[in-house]
Structure 1
Amino acid sequence: MLIDRYGLSVSTNSEAARDAYVAGCDAVLTAWHGDADHLSRAIAADPAFAVAHAALARARFLQADVAGAREAAARARELAAGTTPREQGHIDALCLAIEGKPVEALAATRAHLTDHPRDAMVASPATGVFGLIGFSGRQGREPEQVEFLEALRPHLADDWWFQAVYAFALEEVGRLDEALDLIERSMAAYPRNAHGAHIKAHVLYEMGEDRRALDYLESWLPDYPRPGLMHCHISWHIALFALIVGDTGRAWQVYEAQVHPGGAWGPALNVATDAPAFLWRAELAGQPRKASLWGEVRDYALKSFPKAGIAFVDVHRALACIAADDQDGIAGIVGELQQRAATGRSPAGDVVPRLAIGLAAYGRGDWPAAISILETALAETVRIGGSRAQRDLVENTLLAAHLKAGRIDQAKALVANHTGRRPSVPVAGLL
């Protein structure tokens, strides 16, 4: 029996299948383009290679090919009986998430990693701000993420993939110096890590190193294939950093070429959240509203996500309707979100409709209402998922509402409350 990169036995006697599987797993872990191709080669070399089918399911799921992912997951489950207990647990944990059972998937992941703490493919779906913990809706998900990874640290501390995801978790709780050291070590060991480049950008954002982050991403992105999973989102970071440092021409150039619907390549979740997030932030920074772009974003978001269900996306769907002046659209979204919260179907609770209502108040120029609602919702915004950098949209909107209402002291206090953080705040009128 052969072993993978983490020293774990895999049920195949084909070295070609094993090598392609390892390459495919590394591509999944780094969001590098070609993961499905590598895994398809592994399966072609050994059609009964069960964990390769599970990895292919994960790769397809990340690309938002849910039907293809579930087909591969079903095949992995069929083949699992002929594998080791470790591989059976591996397959179960990965497939549960793909089958739409995130709570059960996280429980299975924790149980599996107790016995097999070096199983990075199983750990991966529970990492990051969009993972099983990141999208759990729990108020304490950020320290929970750190705790989850610290249990694996004795077994994976020298691994470049672990260093990157652990750096992200530390950055999100404000341990910035540790995070920067880890992500730089990780990227030095394996530079072709799109997740790693993204994580480094987040660390630098939290440190207020906007120019450094922009220069880094501008130098890193050209070698990343455009069809890569993270191309759209890393481009969004470039556009945002360019906006922050005052290079608005570059910001709009990147948005129109690589972020907006039709220009971006990436999963719908990224496009439907990154595009409205940039347009809204551009307006907060003093750029005029571009109605045609907002209409495009609104149409894309509502077509891609016609129903509520992912809190982070739902807030951005609401944002697109607000800016597009779609009164019926925002009313429908708020009503749907309120119903989900009232019936216990929203893991993030009622903070999602509250944010939509507060952002709508800002959109119609009702500064007192926007301030009242967003202030009370701000502490719970962590429950919608996403990173600190992404959720700054809510705080920056609140800041802009204070400024527009003439509440200068409150605006200054809000900025001063960035304890341990130094992110720039591109809001017109702040200086």
Structure 2
Amino acid sequence: MLADQYGLPLTTSVLEARDAYVTGVNHTLAATFGASDAFAASVEADPGFALGFVGLARARMYDTDIPGAQKAMATARACATQLTEREAAHLAVFELLLQGRTTEARRAVQDHIANYSRDVLVAQICTNIFGLIGMSGEPGRESLQLAYTTQLLEALGEDWWIMSVHGQALCEVGQLDEAMSMMERSLALNNVNANASHFKAHTLYEQGAGEIGRAYLADWIANYDERSVLHGHLSWHRALWALEQEDEAELWEIYSSSIAPAASHSLPINVLTDAAALLYRAEIAGLDVEPELWSDLSDYASRYFPNPGMSFADIHSALAHAMAGDGDRLAVLAETQSGFAGDLVRPVARAWGAIARQDWTAALQNLTPVMAEHARLGGSRAQRDLLELTYLNILLKSGHADEAHRTIKSRRPIFSQAAPVAGFG
């Protein structure tokens, strides 16, 4: 019986199947393009390799090919006749995930990792900003994420993948020096790891090191395949820094080539949230945003997120609908409470509607109660700055300049001297 790169036995005796499986796992952990091809090669070499089909199902999920993922998982089940206990549990976790049973899947992941801490493809499900902990809507989820990655770090040690996701968890709780150290150690071991590059960008953002971050990502992304899952989101970071540094030409070039729905190869939740946040942050910075960009994004949101329930996506869908003037679509989100933080989605959606009408009093009334706990909506600190800067802009528009300065200084001090909001100074 062969073993994977973490020393875990695999029920295949075909070396080519094992090697391609290892390649697929590495692509998944590094967020690089090629996981689907690698797992497909693995099961072609050994059509009875169940975990190869599980890996293929995971890769198809990242490709947003759910029918393909379901087909791969069905084949995995058919092959699962002589699996080890660990492999059988591994397969069961991904069945729950693919069925959308996220609460059960999260519990299964944590139970599994308690027994098999080196099973990284399972462990990965609960890491990252969009993992099952990050998108749980629970108060204190950042601390839960850090506790989880700390457990994994203790088991895996000097491993390029765990250091990158542990660094992200450190960054989100404000331990920036420790986060940067983790990123640098991860990149030293594997510089093509897009997760480490991504989280290094987050840490630089939190440190207010925009010029350094912009130069770093421009250099790093040059060799990153644009079909990779994080290419659009890394481009979003670059565009934000271009906005802060008043390079409007680069901002729109990056948007049109890498972030807009027609250009991005990212997951739909990243396409929607990145595009909506960038367009509105450009608006409040005083730039002109073409109306058709909002219309296109509203249509995209309606196509990929037609029903409320994924709260982080819902607030961005509501923004797109409001700015596109689509009151019917907006009303669904403003009047429905569904999802892990649905109680916060409704007032945010109503605030976007008020903003579109330039009713700053109503916008302030709706958004103010959300600000104390908007972390429950999901996303990183950098992503939730959409709400922080929107709140700042509303205060300015409402004639509360002194309060605006006090609020940003206490809530997001990195913007206290120079926030990218027109009229702030």
TM-score > 0.5, shorter chain as reference: yes
The alignment status of 1:427 with 2:391, answered yes or no, reads: no
Residue identity in the other structure for 1:115: N
**1:169 corresponds to:** 169
Partner SS, residue 151 of structure 1 = helix
Taking the aligned partners of 1:400 and 1:318, their CA distance within structure 2 comes to 18
**2:88 corresponds to:** 88
Shift of 1:80: 2.7
Partner SS, residue 82 of structure 1 = coil
**1:99 corresponds to:** 99
**2:372 corresponds to:** 379
Partner SS, residue 13 of structure 2 = coil
Greater Cα offset, 173-182 or 232-241? 232-241
Taking the aligned partners of 1:63 and 1:388, their CA distance within structure 2 comes to 26
Shift of 1:55: 0.9
Structure 2 residues not aligned, in runs of 5+: none
Distance verdict in 2 for CA 1:420–1:95, change over 3 Å: farther
Q: How does 1:101-250 map to 2 (within 5 A)?
A: 101-250=101-250
Shift of 1:379: 2.1
Residue identity in the other structure for 1:217: L
* Identity in percent: 41
Taking the aligned partners of 1:422 and 1:90, their CA distance within structure 2 comes to 44
Residue identity in the other structure for 1:361: A
Taking the aligned partners of 1:74 and 1:193, their CA distance within structure 2 comes to 31
The alignment status of 1:333 with 2:333, answered yes or no, reads: yes
Shift of 1:422: 6.4
Shift of 1:419: 6.6
Taking the aligned partners of 2:39 and 2:327, their CA distance within structure 1 comes to 46
Taking the aligned partners of 1:102 and 1:329, their CA distance within structure 2 comes to 27
Residue identity in the other structure for 1:270: N
Say whether the 8 Å CA contact 1:70–1:99 is kept in structure 2.
no
- Which of 347, 353, 357 in structure 2 is aligned with 1:354? 347
Q: How does 1:307-346 map to 2 (within 5 A)?
A: 307-335=307-335, 337-338=336-337, 340=338, 346=339
Taking the aligned partners of 1:245 and 1:420, their CA distance within structure 2 comes to 18
Partner SS, residue 301 of structure 1 = helix
Residue identity in the other structure for 1:215: A
Residue identity in the other structure for 2:144: E
Distance verdict in 2 for CA 1:90–1:211, change over 3 Å: same
How big is each residue's C-alpha offset from its partner over 1:274-317, in whole Å with a ceiling of 9 and x where there is no partner?
11111100001111232121111111111222222211111111
Taking the aligned partners of 1:67 and 1:97, their CA distance within structure 2 comes to 14
The alignment status of 1:370 with 2:363, answered yes or no, reads: yes
Partner SS, residue 81 of structure 2 = helix
How big is each residue's C-alpha offset from its partner over 1:16-66, in whole Å with a ceiling of 9 and x where there is no partner?
111110000000111111111111111011111111111111111112111
**1:406 corresponds to:** 399
Residue identity in the other structure for 2:422: A
Residue identity in the other structure for 1:105: A
**1:23 corresponds to:** 23
Greater Cα offset, 261-270 or 347-356? 261-270
Structure 1 residues not aligned, in runs of 5+: 341-345
How many correspondences in the alignment? Answer: 424
State the TM-score, normalizing by the size of structure 1.
Answer: 0.95
Taking the aligned partners of 2:97 and 2:32, their CA distance within structure 1 comes to 21
Greater Cα offset, 262-271 or 134-143? 262-271
Residue identity in the other structure for 2:160: W
**2:408 corresponds to:** 415
Shift of 1:7: 1.1
Partner SS, residue 375 of structure 1 = helix
Taking the aligned partners of 2:95 and 2:196, their CA distance within structure 1 comes to 25
- Which of 385, 391, 395 in structure 2 is aligned with 1:392? 385
Residue identity in the other structure for 1:369: A
**1:343 corresponds to:** none
Taking the aligned partners of 2:78 and 2:151, their CA distance within structure 1 comes to 31
**2:73 corresponds to:** 73
Shift of 1:247: 1.0
Partner SS, residue 152 of structure 1 = helix
Taking the aligned partners of 1:389 and 1:255, their CA distance within structure 2 comes to 18
Partner SS, residue 202 of structure 2 = helix
Say whether the 8 Å CA contact 2:309–2:340 is kept in structure 1.
no
Say whether the 8 Å CA contact 1:174–1:421 is kept in structure 2.
no
Partner SS, residue 350 of structure 1 = helix
Distance verdict in 2 for CA 1:26–1:402, change over 3 Å: same
Distance verdict in 2 for CA 1:294–1:177, change over 3 Å: same
Say whether the 8 Å CA contact 1:129–1:386 is kept in structure 2.
yes
Residue identity in the other structure for 2:419: V
Q: How does 1:214-293 map to 2 (within 5 A)?
A: 214-293=214-293
How big is each residue's C-alpha offset from its partner over 1:300-345, in whole Å with a ceiling of 9 and x where there is no partner?
111222222211111111001111122222113322x33x3xxxxx
Residue identity in the other structure for 2:139: Q
Shift of 1:410: 1.0
Partner SS, residue 80 of structure 2 = helix
Say whether the 8 Å CA contact 1:73–1:95 is kept in structure 2.
yes
State the TM-score, normalizing by the size of structure 2.
Answer: 0.97
Say whether the 8 Å CA contact 2:257–2:263 is kept in structure 1.
yes
Taking the aligned partners of 2:253 and 2:264, their CA distance within structure 1 comes to 12
Residue identity in the other structure for 1:132: L
Say whether the 8 Å CA contact 1:21–1:42 is kept in structure 2.
yes
